[in-house]
Structure 1
Amino acid sequence: MYILITGASGFVGSQLIKTLSNQSLGYQLVVLSRKENFNLSSNILQLVRETSDNFFDKGIPDNIDVIIHLAGRAHILNDQLLDPLDEFRKVNVDGTLQLARQALEKKVKRFIFISSIGVNGAVTSQQPFTEDALPQPHADYALSKLEAEEALKILFAESDTELVIIRPPLVYAAHAPGNFARLLKLVATNLPLPFAGTKNRRSFVALENLVDFIQICIEHPNAANQTFLVADQSRISTRELVQYLKQGMGKPARFIYLPQPLMKLGAACIGKSKLYEQLFESLEVDTTKAQKLLGWTAPLSTQQAMLQAGQNYLKMKE
Structure 2
Amino acid sequence: MKILVTGSSGFVGSRVIEVVKERGWESVGVVRSSSTHALNSPELFPIQALDAKTDWQGAFDKVDCVVHCAARVHQMQESESDVLEAYRLVNTHGTLHLAEQAAKAGVKRFVFVSSVKVNGERTLPEQPFTTEVLHAPDDPYGLSKYEAELALKALCERTNMELVTIRPPLVYGPGVKANFQSMMGWVAKGLPLPLGAIHNARSLVYIDNLVDLILTSCVHPHASGHTFLVSDGEDVSTTQLLKAVAKAMGKPSTLIPIPMCWIQLAAKAMGKPAVAERLCGNLQVDIEQTQSVLNWSPVVSFHEGITRTAAHFIEARNKEKNRSMS
Q: What TM-score do the two structures reach when normalised by structure 2?
A: 0.91
The question of 1:292 aligning with 2:289 is answered: no
**Map of 2:54 onto structure 1:** 56
> Where does residue 89 of structure 1 map in the other structure?
88
Structural mapping, 1:173-252, within 5 Å? 173-252=173-252
Counterparts in 2 of 1:172 and 1:39: CA distance versus 1, 3 Å: farther
Tell me which residue corresponds to 2:123: 124
What residue ranges of structure 2 are gaps of 5+ in the alignment? 319-326
Q: Work out whether residues 187 and 251 of structure 2, in 8 Å CA contact, stay in contact via their aligned partners in 1.
A: no
SS at match of 1:228: strand
Q: Give the letter aligned to residue 96 of structure 1.
A: T
On the 8 A contact 2:71/2:90 being kept in 1, the answer is: yes
Q: Look up the match of 1:309.
A: 309
The equivalent position to 1:31 in structure 2, one of 4, 29, 32, is 29
Q: Over aligned residue pairs, what C-alpha RMSD do you find?
A: 1.8
State how many pairs are aligned. Answer: 313
Identity of aligned residues (%): 39
Contact 1:29 1:45 in 2 (8 A): no
**Does structure 1 conserve the Cα–Cα contact (< 8 Å) formed by 2:164 and 2:225?**
yes
The corresponding residue for 2:322 is none
In the aligned structure 2, how far is the partner of 1:98 from the partner of 1:39? Answer: 22
Deviation at 1:27, TM superposition (A): 1.6
Q: Distance in 1 between matches of 2:297 and 2:132?
A: 20
Deviation at 1:53, TM superposition (A): 4.5
SS of 1:79 mapped into structure 2: coil
After the TM superposition, list the runs of 4 or more consecutive aligned residues in structure 1 that deviate by more than 6 angstroms: none
Mark the CA change 1:81 to 1:97 in structure 2 (over 3 Å): closer, same or farther.
Answer: closer
Report if aligned partners of 1:63, 1:106 keep a CA contact under 8 Å in 2. Answer: no
Is residue 118–residue 138 contact of structure 1 (8 Å, CA) maintained in 2? no
Is the counterpart of residue 143 in structure 1 residue 143 in structure 2?
yes
AA of the residue aligned to 2:91: N
Q: 1:313 to 1:135 in 2, by over 3 A?
A: farther
Shift of 1:261: 2.0
Match for residue 73 of structure 1?
72
Q: Is the 8 A contact 1:137 1:143 kept in 2?
A: yes
Q: Which runs of 5+ in 1 are unaligned?
A: none
Counterpart of 2:110, as a letter, is: F
Deviates more, 1:261-270 or 1:150-159: 261-270
Is the counterpart of residue 277 in structure 1 residue 274 in structure 2? no
